[in-house]
A and B are shown apart, each in its own frame.
Chain A
Amino acid sequence: MSDTSKSHGLHLGLICVLALAYFVLPAYHSGNLASVMVIAIYAMGYNLLFGYTGLLSLGHALFFSAGLYGLGLMMHLADWTPLPAFAAGLIAALVVSAVIGFLILRTTGVAFMIVTLMFAQAGYLTILYFGKYTRGDEGFALQQASRQIAGYDLTDPGVRYYCALVLFSVTLLGLAYIIRAPFGRTLVAIRENEERARMLGYNVTAIKLKAVIVSGVVSGASGATYALLFGYAGATFATVQYSIFPLLWVLVGGAGTTVGPFVGALFMFYLIDYASGKTEAYLLVVGVTLVLVTLFLPHGIVGTIRTRFLRWLP
């Protein structure tokens, strides 16, 4: 089998396993898995920029919450139905990532991280400032009656699970396609040696801007899906912590791998879930994991499997 068909097999196999898992797992775990698939979309969006393009952003919560509030506010205040509201979420993420991307790409290295952090902080404060509409930290719930698509009730666990799975699969296969396409190859070239890519005639800044926008829209799609499926939008999702989470998931799972973000999100979800049952200070595991991964597992779980055993892993 060629490496390409092996990676097709891996992606389709993962999707099949997830599709069957709903019948096997108890309700509690299938509910968790639905959340993990939604946050894995966020992680995959982040991975395109961090893992493949080599740009470490500390402000992706801005894009996530652009999607979250794009959908949430339209359904909450304007009584839109889910599908147009979802489109509104994507457009919000597109606009925000295009404007922010245009500005942040003027900086590099450490300045890039700090600038992304600051724009995200400004976004969070803006959500608090318009607390009249966004209800600030407290947030607002979306009514069950409005969360229906073509007769399907998105609050039903089964519908919610398969809705999350569909969007997860579209993102996984879509990003796997992008990464193999010339565009994705160029991103890796920029990550490896930006000067050389520029010398070969690529317009590096324009390509990086495209990567920021794709990454931002995918993150926004995750935010919109989250608001739609779980019926809640709040300013907590715009805090620094939600910019650090995708970094954590991608680092743990393996930056620059297609399934790493899902693996990292799954692992951290259950680790945090376990720790929060034990102690109030459950974020301690986030800190310890970040330090341990930087020290001992710089390629993450999937990345280490790739370097040690399976060279073909996408």
Chain B
Amino acid sequence: MEFGPHLLLASLEGATTAAVLALTAMGLSIVFGVMRVVNVAHGEFYMVGAVLAWFIATSVGAHPALGFVAALLIAPLLVGFLAAGVDRLILRHINYDPERTIVATIGTLYILQQTTLMTFGPDARPVEPPFNSRIALPWFEWGENGFEFYFPWGLSTTSYKLFVIAAAVVILITLWLAITRTKAGLVMRATQQDSDMAQAFGIPVKTVYSAVFGLGAGLAAIGAVLVVPIQQAYYLMGHDPLLLSFIVVIIGGLGSLPGTIIAAILIGMADGIISVFFTPTLAKIFATLVVAMVLVFRPKGLLGKSTS
């Protein structure tokens, strides 16, 4: 393949990564924005979402589409309740102290991961996509015979990957409407701005915290259910989404939701394109160092407001 079609292919792969990443990182960002805590177990909620999707899809067993829809509806809910339980049993008792929360969520990370290893096992298992037709893409070129277009070999995507992108956009718009236009969103924003004042006005801040923690984990689980027909469910799959979500949330500015979306698109596309053209290890080293440097020299993130 020539460079042009190759780049288009890489961008399409990148767009799928970006869509899933935007959902996952949005979960982390909402939790940090409202509760001011870093959830290190976020990647494991993603993993549990994928594993539950496999369980649900295999136990429904009918047409793949039916199992997938069931998984998409049920798995994020279960993960959300699981996370709300973690909040109620652990985080509430340590009073959301930032450092102790990090240690406790590291503990939760191991508990979720190792419990999955004990029940689901060490194998990676696929979920069948509901539909998966290959779509060949045309490429336009100004050649010897004037303007022409043809279908380069290997330049194609699948209908499912396009569905993932569309689904992520729909979910994120719904989320935005829910935060800005509904009573629940208002309560959430009030808690974010000043939890003491919110409490004084009769908002049950602790319940809001549990709900927000569950919502964040549920968003990660939605991303995981969408990704599981492309990648496979595996008990160690939570590591990369955690690191990438961290990167996205930091680059986007801690707690800034529009920043998170922009950064997810940027990082997802860059990840897709870089991993097509460069060795993945070198790309990862470079990306990790760049993000660390951003945090060192611009602690509020690229789009965050400066303190001065």
Contact = CB atoms under 8 A, between A and B. Distances in A.
A280 B295 CA distance: 37
Nearest to B247: A118
B292 interface: yes
A56 interface: yes
A294 B111 CA distance: 14
A122 B111 contact: no
24 contacts: A103-B293, A106-B296, A107-B296, A114-B38, A114-B246, A118-B246, A118-B291, A118-B292, A119-B292, A121-B243, A126-B285, A129-B281, A129-B285, A244-B106, A247-B103, A247-B106, A281-B114, A281-B117, A287-B109, A290-B103, A290-B110, A293-B103, A294-B94, A295-B104
Contacts of B114: 281-284, 287
Contacts of B104: 290-291, 294-295
A102 to B, nearest CB: 10
A197 B156 CA distance: 62
A107 B295 CA distance: 7
Nearest to A125: B285
Nearest to A50: B99
Contact of B102 (A56, A280, A282): A56
Contacts of B94: 294-295
A121 B117 CA distance: 24
Interface in A151-189: none
Given A126-B285, A291-B107, 8 more contacts: A58-B102, A106-B297, A119-B289, A125-B284, A247-B106, A283-B110, A284-B110, A288-B110
A298 B93 CA distance: 12
Interface string A218-253: 000000000000000000000000001001000100
The interface residues of chain B, by DSSP majority, are classed as: helix
Contacts of B98: 109-110
Contacts of B107: 286-291, 294
A85 interface: no
Interface in B119-144: 122
Interface in B253-308: 281-282, 284-285, 288-289, 291-293, 295-297, 299
A302 B59 CA distance: 50
Interface string A238-276: 000000100100010000000000000000000000000
A251 B297 contact: no
A115 B289 CA distance: 9
A25 to B, nearest CB: 30
Contact of B288 (A107, A125, A247, A280): A125
A217 interface: no
Interface residues of A, number: 39
Nearest to B41: A287
A122 B93 CA distance: 34
B108 interface: yes
Contacts of A103: 292-293, 296
Contacts of B108: 287, 291
Interface string B71-115: 000000000000000000010011000111011101111111111
Interface in A21-38: none
B250 interface: yes
B27 to A, nearest CB: 17
B62 interface: no
A305 to B, nearest CB: 21
B118 interface: yes
A279 B118 contact: yes
A161 B248 CA distance: 47
B107 to A, nearest CB: 3
A115 B296 contact: yes
A269 to B, nearest CB: 17
A289 B299 CA distance: 32
A118 B246 CA distance: 10
